[in-house]
Amino acid sequence: MNLRPLKQNDIPQIARFHSLYIPHSTFAQLGIPFLKTLYQSFLKPRCGFVYTYWEGGKMQGFIAGATDSQHLLRSLFLRHFLFLLVISLKALFRHPRFFSLLFQTFQYPKKVDLPQTKAELLFIAVKPENRGRGIGSKLILKSLEELKKRGIDGVKVSVEKKNRGAINLLRKMHFSQERNFSFYHRERILFSYWIPK
């Protein structure tokens, strides 16, 4: 089976994958140790899930989602407060604008608020040499199936306006555009999808 849930042994690989292929996310800027902690928290599947896609024993793509993204991220920050404080201070030395980025990150939940759903697809990436082969679509379909299994009927996702690949993928999967908003001085689009019963 090419598509399977994340396992403990995949943590170092998925952290590197995220850092390489979604390098501009604030989370990637916090470094590999933070990403390992982040994905470790997805292994307790109460409100998060990750599916990975494999070929030739190597990870080719993954998707991470949550039934309540705000709750998942809040409990991650509370549980690892000291660790996060230390790596944030380190990141501040590398990027002086880091605190403003972190501050804006805390504004994110308000910007993507939709009264009808708390579920969110948080990250998706496919290895560049394997893009355009339908792996991204399979990962989204699997996530929608997972959300439906958990009794969720709607999901949101936000992407940068200039990320044509991700936007085309969401449109192809029949996600609808909710609104545009600005985040880190960049334009983003909020999409939603209502899962048929």
Which residue from 45, 132, 177, 187 is in contact with ligand COA, where contact means CB under 6 A? 132
- Using CB under 6 A as the binding criterion, the count of chain residues that bind ligand COA stands at 21
User: What is residue 52's three-state secondary structure?
Assistant: strand
What does the alpha-carbon distance between residue 182 and residue 57 come to, in Å, rounded to a whole number? 39
Question: Least separation, in Å, of the C-beta of 73 and ligand COA?
Answer: 15
Question: Least separation, in Å, of the C-beta of 169 and ligand COA?
Answer: 3
Segment near ligand COA (CB under 6 A); pick from 44-52, 96-104, 109-117, 158-166: 158-166
Burial class of 13 by CB neighbour count within 10 A (0 to 12, 13 to 18, 19+): middle
What does the alpha-carbon distance between residue 20 and residue 155 come to, in Å, rounded to a whole number? 26
Q: Does 33 bind ligand COA (CB under 6 A)?
A: no
139 sits in which H/E element: helix 135-149
Which residue from 36, 111, 131, 148 is in contact with ligand COA, where contact means CB under 6 A? 131
Q: Does 22 bind ligand COA (CB under 6 A)?
A: yes
Nearest residue to ligand COA, using CB? 136
Segment near ligand COA (CB under 6 A); pick from 83-91, 99-107, 135-143, 185-193: 135-143
* Residue 83, C-beta contacts closer than 8 angstroms, at least 6 positions apart: 33, 37
79 sits in which H/E element: helix 69-79
Q: Does 166 bind ligand COA (CB under 6 A)?
A: yes
What does the alpha-carbon distance between residue 137 and residue 154 come to, in Å, rounded to a whole number? 17
Which residue from 46, 74, 164, 179 is in contact with ligand COA, where contact means CB under 6 A? 164
Q: Residue 164 or 179: which CB sits closer to ligand COA? A: 164
Q: For residue 156, how many other CB atoms are within 10 A of its CB?
A: 20
Binding positions for ligand COA, rule: CB under 6 A: 21-22, 123-126, 131-137, 159, 163-166, 168-169, 172
